[in-house]
Structure 1
Amino acid sequence: MNSVLWELVELGGGLVTLRAARQVVPSWTLQSACRDSELVRVLPEVFVAAHLVGGRSGTPAISRLDPTLGHRAALAWAGGFGALSHLSALGVWGLRPPAVGDLVHLSTPASANLRTRPGVVVHRRRGLLMEPPHVVVRQGLTVTRLEQALVDSWPTMPPVERRAPVIRAVNQWLTTPERLGVALESTPKLTDRAAFRTLLTRLADGCRSPLEIWGHEHVFTGPGMPAFRRQMPVRVRRRTVYLDMFAERERVNIELDGATTHGDPRQREIDLRRDAQLASIGILVVRFAHRRLVHEADRIRQETLAILATRRTDAVGRADEGCLVLRAWAA
């Protein structure tokens, strides 16, 4: 390959556009590199070093690139008139691992002259502007804002996978249920919109995992159950801990242990120390494991109601009691 052209390709991280190449070499130099299988045209006027294009030739060239390079190629093709969106944007936001072969999703203004091509899906959107707050630059890539990307991606994923990126985004403080609600309102015809709205309600209530949502919907609501305060901050020995589900009157904290937590000795030791610290300020910790919560919902509900009733009965004398921690591990 021409040395000047190769230097330009290296500066572009393996990628070069026709417009950039024409500024330093004649057009025939680029054509020669493609003819000699040194460069591969992955999109109109966008070329990539051949050694970076893997897989079988029967699939679109852009689908055979490393996802990050594929994203860069799509944005170079868009020429400033498109932003990564939908599942591609979730990959850039770190909420869904991208993989070789994934379609690249681009959102563009309705006036942009871009069309869907093999390996690239173009979403034309009225009112979209290629500037904040509609789009942002993350890791050097132009993407739609997180809330819009989560809403857009919802119907493109299998139902069992839809909630995880939304929950993760809220847990990582990347967004809030309220901001997601605003984005959802702007998409009234979204597939399975009611399920998205219910998820946002659960997150706003303080649920922070699928297990907590399950417990809220099947166990810890209804007659006799208090209005638990979720993710309640409590100061213990100069540090703040967050309680999963706190019954304030009874001073009972319900902790739901995930499927992987129960078998981890290190995590168990951390939990024991934390529970002992909470007991020192009169908070009773009750833990339920994943298996019991899913398979013994009715029994756990009865146990919880009995514990709460006992705590209410003993409320007067509880201040004089020693540290009390009840562990409700699965057998």
Structure 2
Amino acid sequence: MDSVIQALVDRGGGLVTREDVLRCRPRSTLESACRSGRLLRLLPGVYVDAALVDNPQSTSPPTQPTAPPLARVTPALARRAALAYVDGRGALSHLTALDVWGLRRQPPGEPLHIDVPIASGLRDRPHLLVHHRRCFAPQPPHVLVRNGAPVTRLDRSLVVAWPLLPAVDRAGTVIRAVNDRLTTPERIVAALEGVPRLTDRAALRGLLDRLAAGCRSPLEIWGHDRVFTGPGMPAFRRQTRVRLGDRVVYLDLYAEAEQVNIELDGATTHGNPREREIDLRRDALLATRGILVVRFTHRRLLHHPDDVRRETLAILATRRQAPMIS
């Protein structure tokens, strides 16, 4: 391959644009590099060093040779190629944005997504979906830079990706974004208001309502919906912050008047004896504050919700009758 083009490719980390080549070499030189198999066109005006196509690190399992070239390079290289194609007029969005935000890795074969202004003139390409947005500009507040790439805001990305996510991934992705403090339920609700025709909108709004109420896991949402609300149940405070000496803990469900803390242990909780010991020490410290800790296992909550509800009501009634420790 021409030494100048090779230098451009190396400087671009394996990518080069037609515009960059034509600044210093005639079109025939670029065409010759493509005919010789040294360069491969990924997108209009965007070329890649052919040695990087079907790289063993690109996907697992490897893609089929008939897959679009953009699907046959590493995800990072494919994202850079998509951004080179839009040439500053767009930002990674939808499922691709969630990948950049570190919330869900896009599997092989799933196309890239990018947002552009409605009048950009850009269109879909194999393995690349171009979304045209009104009143969109690839700059703040619509776009942030994360890991060196322009990406749509997380609240917006979660909303528009919701109907595209596999059902099994939907709630967990949103919950993780909130738990990792990357966004808040309130910000996602605000973004949802801007997408009134979203598919399965009601399901997302229901999840956000439960997250706003303090639920922080699918198990807590299950308990909120089927066990710990309704007649006789107090208005539990969720994820209540309590300082114990130099340590801060968060209570899953806290009945303040009765000073009862309900802890919902997940399916894998206490598989480690050390973790179990930490929880026992935590419960003992809370007891010195007059707070009774009651733990329900994942299995009991899912398979015997009526029993859990009856026991919770009985414990609360007993605590109401007993003098509280101040």
- TM-score interval for Structure 1 and Structure 2 normalised by the shorter chain: over 0.9
Whether 1:161 and 2:172 are equivalent positions in the alignment is no
1:167-218 superposed Cα distances (whole Å, 9 cap, x missing partner): 1111111111111111101111111111111111101110011111011001
Q: CA deviation at 1:63?
A: 1.0
Answer yes or no: is the 8 Å Cα contact 1:252–1:284 preserved in 2. Answer: yes
- Report 1:1-331 matches (<5 A): 1-54=1-54, 55-314=63-322, 316=323, 318-319=324-325
In structure 2, the residue corresponding to 1:312 is in which secondary structure? helix
Conservation of the 8 A alpha-carbon contact between 1:259 and 1:289? yes
Q: 1-side partners of 2:230 and 2:95: how far apart?
A: 37
2:58 is aligned to none
Identity %: 60
Task: Tell me how far apart the structure 2 counterparts of residues 226 and 204 of structure 1 sit (CA, whole Å).
Answer: 18
1-structure distance, mates of 2:45, 2:106: 24
- Aligned-pair RMSD on alpha carbons? 1.4
Say whether the 8 Å CA contact 1:67–1:99 is kept in structure 2: no
Provide closer, same or farther for how the CA distance between residues 94 and 160 of structure 1 changes in structure 2, counting only shifts above 3 A: same
Structure 1 residue 101, shift from structure 2 partner: 2.4
Partners of 1:265 and 1:33 in 2: CA distance: 62
**What TM-score do the two structures reach when normalised by structure 2?**
0.94
The Cα shift of 1:238 comes to 2.0
Q: 1:7 to 1:266 in 2, by over 3 A?
A: farther
Q: CA deviation at 1:84?
A: 0.9
The letter for the 2-side match of 1:39 is L
Superposed displacement of residue 3, structure 1: 2.6
> Please, which runs of 5 or more residues in structure 1 have no aligned partner?
321-331
1:329 match: none
Deviation, structure 1 residue 262? 3.2
1:247, distance to aligned residue in structure 2 (A): 0.5
How many Å apart are 1:220 and its aligned residue?
0.5
Partners of 1:64 and 1:101 within 8 A in 2: no
The answer as to whether partners of 1:252 and 1:308 remain within 8 angstroms in 2 is yes
Deviations 1:226-278 (A, max 9, x none): 11001111110122211111000111111111111232223212211211111
User: Which deviations, in whole Å up to 9, do the C-alpha atoms of 1:260-298 show, x marking residues without a partner?
Assistant: 123222321221121111112111111111111111111
Q: How many residues align?
A: 318
Residues 17 and 46 of structure 1 are in contact (CA less than 8 Å); yes or no, is this contact kept in structure 2?
yes
Q: Which stretch shifts more, 233-242 or 16-25?
A: 16-25
d(CA) in 2 for partners of 1:24, 1:129: 31
In structure 2, how many angstroms separate the alpha carbons of the residues matched to 1:195 and 1:153?
13
Are 2:289 and 2:325, in contact at CA under 8 Å, matched by a contact in 1?
no
CA distance in 1, matches of 2:77, 2:280: 46
Judge which range, 167-176 or 93-102, deviates more. Answer: 93-102
Question: One-letter code of the match for 1:23?
Answer: R
Task: Give me the whole-angstrom Cα distance separating, in 2, the residues matched to 1:34 and 1:276.
Answer: 71
Partner of 1:327: none
CA distance in 2, matches of 1:156, 1:52: 29
Post-superposition shift, 1:105? 0.6
Q: Secondary structure at the match of 2:325?
A: helix
Using the alignment, how far apart are the partners of 2:286 and 2:20 within structure 1?
Answer: 63
Q: TM-score, normalised by structure 1?
A: 0.93
Q: CA deviation at 1:10?
A: 1.8
- Moved segments of 4+, more than 4 Å: none
Unaligned runs of 5+ in 2: 55-62
> CA offset at residue 158 of structure 1?
2.5
Deviates more, 1:103-112 or 1:272-281: 272-281
Secondary structure of residue in 1 paired with 2:131: strand
Range moving further from structure 2, 27-36 or 187-196: 27-36
Q: C-alpha separation between the residues in 1 aligned to 2:107 and 2:33?
A: 28
